Amino acid sequence: MLWVKSLHVIFMVTWFAGLFYLPRLFVYHAMAASEGDTHGGQRFKIMERKLYYGIMAPGAVLTIGFGTWLWLGWFPGALGAWFHAKLAVVALLVAYHFWCGRLLADFKHDRNTRSHVWFRWFNEVPVLMLFAAVVLVIVRPF
């Protein structure tokens, strides 16, 4: 089970790297678009697509897959309320991931209406979720 746990953490880090970086790319993309930079915008579209589909999506699937494997390796009744709270955080992360996909599609089709300032705030959401998930798993406050 330690190998499964290790792979779960490795792919979680991979997924979070994308969750942190993609909104940062959105910040720069929104800034470039507001300045009328169409060539840079095309470059951002390529980077965003490759990050989302090449790193984030596989990281999310493998994180959830190995996490499920870990859960199935334990007796589910032995898990406390902390585990249910962690599942809620994971559900929020999945929703955030798909929201990033929607924003990616908006940029792809030149439909983005949000400012770079909005994306700077949006970029902080996964930090809070990471904090919550780590505290729930390590501290198990309840």
Q: pLDDT at position 84, please?
A: 92
- pLDDT above 90 covers a percentage of the chain that reads 85
Q: pLDDT at position 15, please?
A: 98
Residue 50 in contact with residue 12, Cβ under 8 Å? Answer: no
**DSSP letters for 59-121:** HHHHHHHHHHHHHHHS-GGG--HHHHHHHHHHHHHHHHHHHHHHHHHHHHTT-----HHHHHH
Mean pLDDT of 32-48: 86
Report residue 76's pLDDT band, with 50, 70 and 90 as the boundaries: low
Mean pLDDT of 34-57: 90
Does pLDDT of 136 surpass 90? yes
Q: pLDDT at position 78, please?
A: 63
Q: Residue 57 and residue 117: Cα distance in Å, rounded?
A: 25
Report residue 75's pLDDT band, with 50, 70 and 90 as the boundaries: low
Mean pLDDT of 12-41: 91
Mean pLDDT of 128-140: 96
